[in-house]
Structure 1
Amino acid sequence: MDSPLLQEIPILKLAEVHSKPDKQAMAYGTAGFRGKASKMDHIFFRMGMLAVLRSKMLKSAIGVMVTASHNPVLDNGVKLIDPCGEMLVESWEVIATGLANASNDDLVKELKKIVAKENIDLSQTATILLARDTRPSSLSLSNAVQDGISALGGTCRNYGLLTTPQLHYIVSCYNDGVKDADEDTYYKWFSSAFKTLVNEPPVNSNVTVDCANGVGAPKLNKLYEHIGANVIDIIIHNDGEGCGKLNEKCGADYVKIQQRAPIGLNMEPFHRYASFDGDADRIVYYSLDCDCNFVLLDGDKIASLITLYIKELLDESKVDVKLGMVQTAYANGNSTRYVTDTLNVMVACARTGVKHLHHKAVEFDIGVYFEANGHGTVTVKEECSNVIERAAKDDKLPAKQKDAAIKLKTFLDVINKTVGDAMSDMLAVEAILHAKGWSVREWAQLYTDLPNRQLKVTVADRTVIRTTDSERRTTSPEGLQEEIDKLVALFPNGRSFVRPSGTEDVVRVYAESDTQEHADSLAKKVSILIYEKAGGVGEKPKEESA
């Protein structure tokens, strides 16, 4: 505890520079801390110190990413990345929240409390891998992180501008022994796997990618240079070079919610379009049909396509491993039916938040998980990888069987298995469509989405709503679920669930049915029920007049 690495004077001197405003409190969530950049300097400084403590405890490099993903340009955020490239464990989210909210006077005391509780050996070295997105505030806030690292004697490797998934991948490589892992390591690995998989002829037609005026644009351009225009034609839109603002009327979140093209994009029927979010960890595809209706291919459609392809290769290679898909309650009901009934693949449901999906996915030998917003990836157990690799090298197998094993191994190499990655997920989708000779027309026809509607109801206290069964059913207030069930029974293919927001006093309502009119009506009825049963405030929701 009295180690020079935790002397109070240097910590307090830097803490004065990064002083915490009075009465400001924040919580570390799935995406770390997020908020107005102008009010978060102290958070970034303290997360630099926390990263050092976690690195010393685990004797591994820890990542720190400065980004607010799909949030507006004046926001910013910070999150820690654990040694295998995974998100920070939940128990340390509580520790991060405590350190962030400690008063300036109690800062050192809080640090000592963490050291004692986690039994951290302060004599250990600490290595922090740092990166940032393109927000105007990201450079100064990265400097605050570096001050925090310096305050506790850690070593910082600053990679500058990266996508969030690139840093996750580099952290994993570094802790796996590749100490010189960098941005170029990423490009070489994924471009090589993709080129091996698509081989000849090149990918048919081009794909237009809206990069949300974020860091994904320059990084996708570099990946494209490694792959080569002779293999795939990528057209980058909203590259941040013009007057467009980060995530403003563009990006995956905008396209998913608004179900329309991003700003400045003139669409053509059946052309492939994709949108990243601001830090390039989400992707959605979309197009127009022959009548110029907007066709969204979201996370559910991406997960279904990937699951279909992996299942086909497993069947052809006769590799006996357990494949599963993980969704949240927000997944469209017909996507679940397609995977379970048509593909005969098990579908598990997890709570909202990719960390929950990831934890569930690793229970399968191969786990495909995506949120409907386009954030997801594929997890593969090490023994499963070994089984596939042995089959790919087994000359005794029939040629078709061995070839399928080789394709499966290479396809899984295209996936960034540490975290959802818009760039590698895009390569996976492009490779599948190429292999099957499909356009977006055939992909969209895998199943038809049930019409759905999402609403929110403001309440006095969101904690009155408690849920179970991966947020699909309520346990409180008493009798609420029975009333929801009665409303759902009124509508063909009806389904509805409610869940409290994680950040504000609102209850989120999801409903789906056989028609958009029915889905809208069910959502309104459930919203009124929530207002009446869960302490609604403000204007009461109303059903539309017939």
Structure 2
Amino acid sequence: MPELPVRAIQVLADAHPKPSHLYFQYGTAGFRTLGSTLDSVLFRVGILAGLRSKRLDGRTIGVMVTASHNPEQDNGVKLVDPRGEMLEASWEVHATALANAPSTDAFIEAVSALVQSARIDLSKPARVVYARDTRPSGPALISALEDGFKALGVEARDAGVTTTPILHYLVKAINTKGTNESYGDDSEDGYYTKLSASFKKLIAGKATPDTVVIDCANGVGAIAAKNLQAYLGTSIPLVLENTDTTSRGKLNDSCGADYVKTMQRLPPNLVDVMKPGQRACSLDGDADRLMYYYLDERGQFHMLDGDKIAALVAAFIVEQVKLAGLESEIKVGVVQTAYANGASTKYLEERLPVKCVSTGVKHLHHAAEHYSIGVYFEANGHGTVLFSPATQEILTKHEPSTPAQSTALNHLINLTQLINQTVGDALSDMLLVEVVLAHKSYSGVEWNSLYADLPNRLVKVVVGDRNAFKTEDAERRLVNPPGLQEKIHELVRRYEGGRSFVRPSGTEDVVRVYAEAVLRAQADELAFRVAGLVYDEAGGDPAKRPKEFI
């Protein structure tokens, strides 16, 4: 039985010492913090990824080096499991333990303990595919990661600079290659070919979509969007903006999906680009989030966020399932979090089942797997559609009895190819939105009028200890501190259409307060009054008290 290559690990680990004053935690987005502090973490993740692959009989694991929508100075790393899904939750604990071992000896002990407790057969091969976004800290962190691979003897494939969704695609394509469940050719070319071919089939016979402006956040999405544009040809006219991936400080700076969602306005440099009636969308720094918007005839900005995308897409899929004559066999459902706008939930609940889960992609993805077709989008623009294996088999085998059924069936089959089912994918989701708009002959105005968002406000309160806040009912109800939830209820009852919830951040000592009401001024007021309760009752940091109630 082979043993751990302790000497090789020791030599290379010594070159990547852990900073003694820092604690690293693996969360939904993996490890994420200042890029300058992550050297030891990347080395250790290289070894962890190899061990994960060995544990799964040599199946390929993905490693993505990115901090998504965060500022440029941040960086991060996350692991991708063989089906292109996020790392199994039980291994998040192992990742955190290995990252925080204080010394090389302690790290080797932790690795040995993991090998024993997880029953890892070290004779199995270790295979990993890895990639990074465009951050300046990327190359140095990749070098540390590669040292981890070297220490364990991992067979590693460098996918270079690419988007997070493409890395997820590659992981699934590599692991399904040559099987009945083949996901596509395991190359970037395979990804672009799959998306563009299915898009062209889905809009065949429809009017060519209007020109779409894409804000690429000055990130890796700019490279992918340009490549995809070449494959799409004349099927959809695209104008790419914010494509500077080389100048320092540009990534996600006053642009990108997070900026648009948070500020609820156009990126400043699109003000002179956008014309009234034109629609546009923003990607985030690693192209896994999508935010749509348009200017009306008066030049007024209107945002079409993840909730609006979910409503548009889910209603279309339900329609196609009915037209194909499959509504008795295929059940479509939508998964949301408490951050979903109340008006979107009401609109969807009138059409199909809706489930609310805790915040975090892993919760949404897992819940969506319980439907024949599960649609999930966070309000921030991250989401996808999952077709269960049984559903894909039904679509393959179903014999339509009319031309209309045959057309709808083909649309559903092509949607399974257009949608990146491994993870939220801004470029795949953008093409999906454009397909639905083409089929419905909708402009941004018609899409936006499916329902009117309730005004809402999000406030952040800095606290001494976020762990003092405990929630239940998909984070919609506080159970700790005692008595605080009753006071929030009392406040909410005073506002028409009022709704508010409080939840601790998963990554920093802040508590997030969400509120909505029928009128904008009331939503704002409710949010800050609830934030005041949090501050008064739970010892918020006086220096960080939200300005509106100082």
The TM-score normalised by the length of structure 1 is 0.96
| Counterparts of 1:70 and 1:241, CA distance in 2 | 14
Aligned to 2:102: 103
Aligned-pair distance for 1:204?
2.5
Aligned-pair distance for 1:291?
2.3
Q: Would you say 1:54 and 2:52 are equivalent positions?
A: yes
Q: Which amino acid aligns with 2:48?
A: L
Q: Deviations over 1:50-105 (max 9, x none)?
A: 00000000021100011110111121111000000000011100100000000223
Aligned-pair distance for 1:534?
2.0
Aligned-pair distance for 1:314?
1.2
Aligned to 1:159: 159
Q: 1:336 aligns with which of 345, 359, 378?
A: 345
| Counterparts of 1:544 and 1:102, CA distance in 2 | 43
| Counterparts of 2:459 and 2:218, CA distance in 1 | 28
Q: Which amino acid aligns with 1:55?
A: S
Deviation beyond 4 Å, 4+ runs, structure 1: 241-244, 539-545
Q: 1:421 aligns with which of 415, 422, 425?
A: 425
Q: Would you say 1:386 and 2:401 are equivalent positions?
A: no
Aligned to 1:315: 322
SS at match of 2:53: helix
Aligned-pair distance for 1:202?
5.0
Q: 2:416 aligns with which of 391, 412, 431?
A: 412
SS at match of 1:463: helix
Q: Would you say 1:370 and 2:369 are equivalent positions?
A: no
Aligned to 1:87: 86
Aligned to 1:304: 311
Matches within 5 A, 1:468-487: 468-487=472-491
Aligned-pair distance for 1:544?
6.4
Aligned to 1:11: 9
Q: Would you say 1:534 and 2:538 are equivalent positions?
A: yes
Aligned to 2:265: 260
Q: Which amino acid aligns with 1:26?
A: F
Which range moved further: 271-280 or 410-419?
Answer: 410-419
Q: Deviations over 1:285-331 (max 9, x none)?
A: 01112222210000000011000110111111121311110111000
Q: In the alignment, is the contact (CA less than 8 A) between 1:204 and 1:434 conserved in 2?
A: yes
Aligned to 1:355: 362
Q: In the alignment, is the contact (CA less than 8 A) between 1:357 and 1:369 conserved in 2?
A: yes
SS at match of 2:371: coil
Q: Relative to structure 1, is the Cα distance of residues 291 and 448 closer, same or farther in structure 2, using a 3 angstrom cutoff?
A: same
Q: Deviations over 1:131-178 (max 9, x none)?
A: 111111112211211110110111001010110000101100111125
Q: In the alignment, is the contact (CA less than 8 A) between 2:27 and 2:507 conserved in 1?
A: no
The TM-score normalised by the length of structure 2 is 0.95
SS at match of 1:264: helix
Q: 1:199 aligns with which of 181, 201, 204?
A: 204
Q: Relative to structure 1, is the Cα distance of residues 63 and 514 closer, same or farther in structure 2, using a 3 angstrom cutoff?
A: same
SS at match of 1:310: helix
Q: Would you say 1:466 and 2:466 are equivalent positions?
A: no
| Counterparts of 1:466 and 1:430, CA distance in 2 | 40
Q: In the alignment, is the contact (CA less than 8 A) between 1:521 and 1:543 conserved in 2?
A: no
Q: In the alignment, is the contact (CA less than 8 A) between 1:202 and 1:231 conserved in 2?
A: no
Q: Would you say 1:127 and 2:136 are equivalent positions?
A: no
| Counterparts of 1:151 and 1:283, CA distance in 2 | 38
| Counterparts of 2:438 and 2:231, CA distance in 1 | 19
Q: Would you say 1:525 and 2:525 are equivalent positions?
A: no
Q: In the alignment, is the contact (CA less than 8 A) between 2:216 and 2:282 conserved in 1?
A: yes
Q: Relative to structure 1, is the Cα distance of residues 381 and 526 closer, same or farther in structure 2, using a 3 angstrom cutoff?
A: same
Aligned-pair distance for 1:543?
6.1
Q: In the alignment, is the contact (CA less than 8 A) between 2:503 and 2:511 conserved in 1?
A: yes
Q: Which amino acid aligns with 1:214?
A: G
Q: In the alignment, is the contact (CA less than 8 A) between 1:271 and 1:287 conserved in 2?
A: yes
Q: Which amino acid aligns with 2:51?
A: L
SS at match of 2:64: strand
Which range moved further: 355-364 or 478-487?
Answer: 478-487
Q: Would you say 1:510 and 2:519 are equivalent positions?
A: no
Alignment length (residue pairs): 537
Aligned-pair distance for 1:407?
1.0
RMSD: 1.6
Aligned to 2:299: 292
| Counterparts of 1:370 and 1:256, CA distance in 2 | 14
Q: Deviations over 1:5-45 (max 9, x none)?
A: x2221111111211111132110011111111111111001
Percent identity reads 50
Matches within 5 A, 1:245-256: 245-256=250-261
Q: Deviations over 1:449-476 (max 9, x none)?
A: 0001111222222222110000001111
Aligned-pair distance for 1:405?
1.3
Q: Would you say 1:63 and 2:70 are equivalent positions?
A: no
Which range moved further: 405-414 or 38-47?
Answer: 405-414
Q: Unpaired runs of 5+ in structure 1?
A: none
| Counterparts of 2:246 and 2:150, CA distance in 1 | 37
